[in-house]
Structure 1
């Protein structure tokens, strides 16, 4: 892996992955909203930022996302559903990574191994859902998983050595999760980054369109 593009590189996981890759000697292009003005929910902004990049990337990883948006906490019941909060969740957690892939497809090589990965979450698994709640976030991540699956099928026709996957990083000690760590064991961002990179390193084209956790175990859709 020689070149990597990290979208959402100012967040806890994105920063750690960019640092880990740089330590390996990988040439990392790091983009984020806070540092570069890249709003992944704005199609024109995504197009402009990615059109400005040259060459191809062996890894494109989207580490954007949020559990709370504009102060809207995860819903515990149907009574808590609000249209704006649901749309905000879909825009950032599902549409955002899909727009990145839409405009980054030309940056993926067709003549060698490459990986496109988007950070999803186990709570987005429909098959693994036993507790309910967290409607917007769960639904947005489930939508992301479907978008990843569709893109993997399409791109496999032209990029024979490409793996397009959704990855669950586990619970990581970041601002993203601070209010919700409570009963869940969590790992520092640097450890999460190494776990994810270990999974990415082991991917083959046969894994495209699948959903894996930080340990490389497949997660049910």
Structure 2
């Protein structure tokens, strides 16, 4: 079953819809789903402020087949990823955790109750392969890696709780691959990358294959398991 067959006609909520991947997902889903969006630029959504999240979701109604969190950042306040532990800055590290780990945790807190009861229901959040402890062979990027590793644990733990009340729901972390954008271009190096539209299609295909047996997992854009 492809994505359109599985989720077509349902409601979707995209968080971070003004970003590269979020906007591409909106365009991909709009022909087949009723898409609603929230972002910092259009709805004042601030993942570092729980009151902002609560206010942003106050008008939303339950019944979403898909809630996709496309928020997050590699650079925050002009601070890029550090290359060595000697460059660790506690304020920059705290900012990474606030946006890339605590923020998605708060989204889970406020939005899981809005997932549809019965039938396919998916909460997916963007993680990153560099958050994998087992796949870390290069070092560096300590704060960003650690924040994404924390996000993966949050997803895993939340999925266990969600499954007790909503056995058909799926909660996962997804690695979209290296996606071309203004923010990532200077970090691409020799890594193969794809345009945002292609990344959105890849993610849709990966999500179509997810079942409740996959809940709490960490998968890449091909649907392959990423090691913790």
TM-score between both structures, scaled by the size of structure 1: 0.98
1-structure distance, mates of 2:216, 2:183: 26
Tell me the equivalent position of 2:48. Answer: 41
Match of 2:66 among 47, 53, 59: 59
User: 1:1-221 maps to which residues of 2 (within 5 A)?
Assistant: 1=7, 2-23=10-31, 25-221=32-228
Q: Could you tell me how far apart the structure 2 residues matched to 1:97 and 1:164 are?
A: 12
Quote the Cα distance in structure 1 between the aligned partners of 2:37 and 2:221: 22
1:35 counterpart SS class: helix
C-alpha distance in structure 2 between counterparts of 1:171 and 1:206, whole Å: 27
Q: Distance in 2 between matches of 1:90 and 1:45?
A: 17
Query: In the TM superposition, what is the alpha-carbon distance from 1:175 to its structure 2 partner?
Result: 2.0
User: What SS does structure 1 have at the residue aligned with 2:123?
Assistant: strand
List runs of 5+ in structure 2 lacking aligned partners.
Answer: 1-6
1:176 is displaced (CA, Å) by 2.6
- Give structure 1 regions of 4+ aligned residues with deviation exceeding 6 angstroms: none
Q: Distance in 2 between matches of 1:175 and 1:137?
A: 18
Q: What per-residue deviation string (whole Å, max 9, x for no partner) do you get for residues 33-77 of structure 1?
A: 011111011111111111210131000000001111011111111
The CA deviation string for residues 185-219 of structure 1, in whole angstroms up to 9 with x for no partner, is 11000000000010111110000000000011000
1: distance between equivalents of 2:182 and 2:96? 17
Q: Is the 8 A contact 1:41 1:99 kept in 2?
A: no
Which sits farther off after the overlay, 58-67 or 103-112?
103-112
TM-score normalised by the chain length of structure 2: 0.95
Secondary structure of 1:61's aligned partner: strand
Alpha-carbon displacement from aligned partner over 1:150-170 (angstroms, at most 9, x marks no partner): 000000000110110000000
CA contact (8 A) 1:148 1:209 kept: yes
Encode CA deviations 1:133-166: one digit per residue, 9 max, x unaligned.
1001000000000000000000000011011000
Q: What are the superposed Cα offsets for residues 69-98 of structure 1, whole Å, 9 maximum, x if unpaired?
A: 011111111110001100000011111111
SS at match of 1:182: coil
In structure 1, runs of 5+ residues without a counterpart are none
SS at match of 1:157: helix
| 1:106 Cα deviation from its structure 2 partner | 1.4
Does the residue aligned with 2:198 lie in a helix, a strand or coil? helix
Equivalent residues, number = 220
- RMSD between aligned alpha carbons? 0.8
